[in-house]
Amino acid sequence: MLHALLADASFWQFLLRLDEDLAAEVRGAGCPHCGAPLHSGDYPRKPRGVARALLGPAYERRLSFCCSRAGCRRRATPPSVRFFGRRVFLGALVVLVSALAHGLTGQRRAWLAQQIGAGAQTLERWRRWWREVLPTTRCWQARRGQWLPPPAPATLPGALLARFGAREDAGTLAAVLRFLAPWSVATEQAR
């Protein structure tokens, strides 16, 4: 099952390689403002919910770049399949736990939150984001049309997992995380 992936170090390394590919594309394009080359300017991160031993030291940083031109120095942060915006929990956890929490009783939801070290309020915030915030973004409005009928907000994120694969495997979860990557950076498109 998908939740078994959370204890698989090779899955987390797979997501790291996907992030590195996304970062290489952004770096290769140069500064989006002036076109100058980009230098590494990674952000420190302290991801929660998964044992650090499974993740490795690469998960202690979020790949990012800054312009090399003295007058510009603007940031270019690539989309990520590992980190979901500014959340401290990893993107895969946000997706899977939110899908698992759908329809659970309060007691079961609290147990699930305890398993990953999150508060019940955190799960509720994630649930509200899936149902109330995501469906109102321009990016969702543009991308939801790839399915007919589009997933109903009340069924997210479970409906995304179902739409991306009949099998519960790393490829299905990675496809959902790739789809959600635009929301991992604060861009006008994702708002």
Q: Which residues pair with 48 in a beta bridge?
A: 89
Coil, helix or strand at residue 47:
coil
| Model confidence at 180: pLDDT above 60 | yes
Domain boundaries, the chain: 2-184
Structure token digits, residue 161: 């997992």
pLDDT at residue 2, as a whole number: 62
pLDDT at residue 108, as a whole number: 77
Q: Which residues pair with 66 in a beta bridge?
A: 39, 75
* Mean pLDDT across the chain: 89
Residues 38-71 pLDDT 10s: 999 999 999 998 988 999 999 999 999 999 999 9
Answer positive or negative: Cα dihedral of 20, 22, 25, 29: negative
Residues 74-110 pLDDT 10s: 999 999 999 988 888 999 999 988 888 777 777 777 7
Instruction: Give CA 177 to chain center in angstroms.
Output: 6
Element at 43 (helix H, strand E): strand 43-44
| Model confidence at 5: pLDDT above 70 | yes
pLDDT at residue 7, as a whole number: 86
Q: What pTM, to 2 d.p., does this model score?
A: 0.89
- Of 127, 132, 177, nearest to 2 by C-alpha is 177
Place of tokens 């990016």: 139
Cis link prior to 157 (omega < 30° from 0)? Answer: yes
